[in-house]
Amino acid sequence: MAMLCSFGRILLVRPAAAIPLRFYCASSPSNSKLFVGGLSWTVDEKSLHDAFSSFGEVTEVRIMYDKGSGRSRGFGFVYFATAYEAKCAKEAMDGKAFLGRPLRISFALEKVRGAPVVVPRLLNSEESQN
């Protein structure tokens, strides 16, 4: 039996006779760039860097701003030195309140200029059993 874990990889379930029922992730994401949504308009790069630096070496922080008003668009990106640090930060901070708003964190998709972006489809539990 196989299922999808939170970052789109296939989970393998070991038979109950061999060991207790546990889920194993086939591989970890190789992406060290996190998308951070739900940011307060008062967040700046320094405060975002400080919030994530306890999970590892933050190499870059980018907050997206509106060109017209100069105000934050409510999302940004946090880059880590390793994919493991990014995974730890995602698991710890996703859904947590930061400056009064809950964060929505996911692994960022790489932007490919001139080509369509293909987003992996997550299967529901009925489809994964077939």
- Distance CA(49)–CA(36), nearest Å, equals 12
Rg (CA), the chain: 17
Q: How far apart are CA 37 and CA 74, in angstroms?
A: 6
pTM above 0.85, yes or no: no
How does residue 16 score in pLDDT terms, banded at 50, 70 and 90? very low
pLDDT confidence band for 104 (50 / 70 / 90)? very high
